[in-house]
Each structure stands twice: as C-alpha cells, then as structure tokens.
Amino acid sequence: MSFSLNPRGIWITLGWLLALSVIYLSLSPLPPNSGIEYGDKFSHLAAYATLMAWWHQIDRNAYRLALIFIVMGLILEILQSLSGYRQGDIFDMAANTLGIGIGWLLGRSALCWSAGKLTA
C-alpha cells in the first residue's frame, strides 16, 4: 500500500485547523492579549482575513465563503455574550467582516499562487 500526499487534502485539513483555532480562541475564557490598544480588533481582522484567503483558494465561490464566515463570526459573538465570562462586541463583528473582505481580495490576488493547484 502506498501513501501519497494530496496537496488539496492537506490544504483543507489545515483550513479546518485554522477555523477550529478561531472558534477555540473566540470562546476560551482567557483570550490572548496583544498588549496594544484595540489589539483584539486587529486579531479579529487578521483571523478572518486568513480564513477567507485560505478557503478562497480551495473554494472559488467567495460569496458562499463570505456568508459562512460572517455567520460564524455572528454566532461566536452571540455565544461569547451568553458565556458569562466573555462579552460579544459589535466592533469585533465589524473587524471580522472587514477581515473577510480583505481575505477575499487576497484570495483573488496573484499573491495566492496556489489557487490554481488547489481548486483543480
């Protein structure tokens, strides 16, 4: 039996790990602190930009991905509000959405060199 690495499968697995990391960090009682003012907003923006750019290389339907990640961010903000140890924030949701837009652009740019290889 031979074992071969499938680049698309590896990319999808890493994408799920990214998504699970965002979920975990969004719901953990002690989120990481960047030490800078509004650092959590930059973290939200970077996390959702990364998710969108990453998955956009696999699934070229950016509208579907954007909707999935916007809904995911909204649900996580609601769950934070219900947790008792975190609070949801409309500005976090705005940073998430801005990050999705940036990720969309990055996913369509020439910087995402692997897009042709992963969508085939």
pLDDT tens digits along 66-115:
999 999 999 999 999 999 888 889 999 999 999 999 999 988 875 555 54
Q: Is residue 21 part of a domain?
A: no
Q: Is residue 17 part of a domain?
A: no
For residue range 5-28, list pLDDT tens digits in order.
787 888 899 999 999 999 999 999
Q: Is residue 29 part of a domain?
A: no
Q: Residue 60: pLDDT band by 50, 70, 90 thresholds?
A: confident
Q: Is residue 50 part of a domain?
A: yes
Q: What gap in Å lies between CA 104 and CA 117, rounded to an integer?
A: 18
State the pLDDT at residue 37: 84
25 neighbors 31 (Cβ within 8 angstroms): yes
> Within 13 Å and on the Cβ side, how many CA atoms surround 81?
11
What token pair was written down for 88? 């949801």
Q: Is residue 18 part of a domain?
A: no
Q: Is residue 27 part of a domain?
A: no
DSSP classification of residue 1: -
Cβ burial, residue 44 (10 Å; 0-12/13-18/19+): buried
Q: What gap in Å lies between CA 2 and CA 114, rounded to an integer?
A: 25
> Within 13 Å and on the Cβ side, how many CA atoms surround 104?
16
Phi, psi dihedral angles at 94 (to 5 degrees): -65, -40
Name the residue range of residue 82's domain: 7-12+38-118
Q: Is residue 1 pLDDT above 90, yes or no? A: no
Torsion of CA 107, 110, 116, 118, to 10 degrees: -40
Q: Is residue 85 part of a domain?
A: yes
Q: Is residue 83 part of a domain?
A: yes
pTM of this prediction? 0.86
Q: How many domains does the chain have?
A: 1
